[in-house]
């Protein structure tokens, strides 16, 4: 089953205690697509500026990523810059330059409108709604967002969430959106907004799935040398949605496995700067790490 993703393809500036990159390809849809394409066919809808060369576009080639929906506009690509704290747990955003993103109005190519799996990556909520109006009858719609949109466009976000099945966000965004500190209470609050499942990404503390079946937790993979957490959340979403679309099921067992594959993809992403580790990742490494997670959390009573 193919998977439609709409979101940012960008250039990022990243500073972490392990190095600095002034301009590296990034964007939520980039990380998502690279991760999800290990599991299923990905149809990418995004906008880039004229500074995004055909050489840059090669990052998507040779994979199961269709770029028919990659729109080129006059101007510069979305640019985002951040600096990470010593322990990589916190970051400050140094720049968010919307550029061609400011006038982005995603047009879903005719061959994608039957998409059964849709991921609305982190973009303005009114654009996310616009995408859903174009897609005919999706089976699962998942959405990511961030503080930037929660602070600026909360009403639009609430409207969009009415049509979303799975919300995939981090712990601080969960608290900000629900006004609840406790994550389980926050989940109950968010279910009233529309989604029937909430996936909470908690960085080095792992990830939680909360839905009608209760709570499922996956630990993060302990890494000796994490370097750059950028895009880990998007790669998580790519592993999660890619797995669900690839297996075509939405049983509790499938959702649990999707959580593990999300965790696997996030863990590889942080090993190197930008999407570098994802670019050279092999599918067999993914399955080996999923088995590692199984071992990490298995015990007998
Ligand atoms: P993450 O580390 O998973 O939160 O995602 C980081 C990626 O999201 C970077 O590659 C950025 O280019 C992209 N990004 C950051 N802020 C925004 C925003 N406001 N809208 C869309 N994409 C963003």
* Tokens standing for residue 143: 């959405």
* Tokens standing for residue 259: 């959580």
pLDDT at 89 (0 to 100): 87
Rounded-to-10 torsion of CA 76, 161, 31, 56: -20
For residue 232, the CA-to-ligand 1 centroid distance in Å is: 10
Say which residues have a Cβ less than 8 Å from residue 63's Cβ, sequence separation at least 6: 33, 34, 37, 42
pLDDT at 206 (0 to 100): 97
Say which residues have a Cβ less than 8 Å from residue 50's Cβ, sequence separation at least 6: 72, 73, 74, 75, 76
Q: Could you tell me if the CB of 28 is within 6 A of ligand 1?
A: yes
Q: Could you tell me if the CB of 182 is within 6 A of ligand 1?
A: no
Q: How many CB atoms lie within 10 A of CB 15?
A: 17
Residue ranges for the chain with pLDDT beneath 70: none
Q: Could you tell me if the CB of 148 is within 6 A of ligand 1?
A: yes
Q: Considering the entire predicted model, what is its pTM?
A: 0.97
Question: Where does the chain have alpha helices with state H?
Answer: 28-36, 54-57, 125-134, 147-152, 154-161, 171-178, 183-191, 232-247, 252-269, 276-279, 283-296
Q: Which atom of ligand 1 is nearest to the CA of 31?
A: 10
For residue 28, the CA-to-ligand 1 centroid distance in Å is: 5
Say which residues have a Cβ less than 8 Å from residue 16's Cβ, sequence separation at least 6: 83, 84, 88, 227, 228, 229, 273
The answer to whether residues 31 and 275 touch, using CB atoms and an 8 Å cutoff, is yes
Which residue has the CA at smallest separation from atom 17 of ligand 1?
Answer: 122
The closest of 87, 143, 99 to 117, measured between CA atoms, is 143
Which residue has the CA at smallest separation from atom 15 of ligand 1?
Answer: 80
pLDDT at 228 (0 to 100): 97
Q: Could you tell me if the CB of 269 is within 6 A of ligand 1?
A: no
Q: Could you tell me if the CB of 242 is within 6 A of ligand 1?
A: no
The answer to whether residues 232 and 34 touch, using CB atoms and an 8 Å cutoff, is no
Q: Could you tell me if the CB of 173 is within 6 A of ligand 1?
A: no
Strand 214-218 and strand 65-72: pairing?
unpaired
**CA–CA dist 84, 46 (Å, integer):** 27
Which residue has the CA at smallest separation from atom 20 of ligand 1?
Answer: 123
Say which residues have a Cβ less than 8 Å from residue 189's Cβ, sequence separation at least 6: 178, 179, 180
Among 122, 168, 232, the mutation site with the greatest number of ligand 1 atoms within 8 A of its Cβ is 122
For residue 7, the CA-to-ligand 1 centroid distance in Å is: 9
């Amino acid at each position: 089953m193919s998977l439609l993703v709409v979101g940012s393809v960008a250039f990022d500036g990243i500073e972490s205690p392990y190095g600095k990159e002034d301009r590296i390809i990034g964007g939520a849809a980039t990380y998502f697509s690279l991760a999800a394409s290990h599991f299923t066919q990905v149809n990418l809808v995004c906008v880039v500026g004229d500074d995004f060369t055909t050489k840059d576009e090669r990052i998507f080639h040779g994979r199961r990523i269709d770029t028919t929906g990659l729109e080129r506009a006059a101007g510069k690509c979305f640019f985002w810059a951040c600096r990470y704290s010593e322990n990589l747990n916190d970051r400050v955003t140094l720049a968010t330059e919307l550029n061609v993103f400011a006038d982005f109005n995603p047009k879903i190519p005719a061959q994608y409108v039957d998409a059964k799996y849709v991921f609305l990556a982190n973009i303005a909520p009114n654009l996310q709604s616009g995408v859903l109006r174009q897609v005919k009858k999706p089976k699962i719609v998942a959405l990511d967002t961030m503080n930037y949109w929660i602070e600026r466009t909360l009403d639009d976000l609430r409207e969009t969430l009415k049509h979303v099945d799975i919300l995939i966000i981090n712990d601080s965004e969960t608290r900000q959106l629900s006004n609840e500190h406790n994550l389980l209470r926050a989940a109950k609050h968010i279910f009233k907004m529309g989604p029937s499942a909430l996936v909470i990404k908690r960085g080095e503390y792992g990830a939680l799935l909360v839905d009608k079946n209760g709570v499922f937790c996956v630990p993060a993979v302990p890494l000796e040398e994490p370097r750059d957490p950028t895009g880990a959340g998007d790669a998580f979403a790519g592993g999660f949605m890619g797995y669900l679309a690839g297996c075509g099921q939405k049983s509790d067992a499938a959702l649990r496995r999707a959580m593990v594959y999300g965790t696997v993809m996030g863990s590889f992403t942080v090993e190197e700067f930008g999407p570098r580790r994802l670019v050279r990742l092999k599918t067999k490494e993914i399955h080996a790490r999923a088995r590692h997670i199984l071992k990490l959390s298995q015990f007998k009573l």
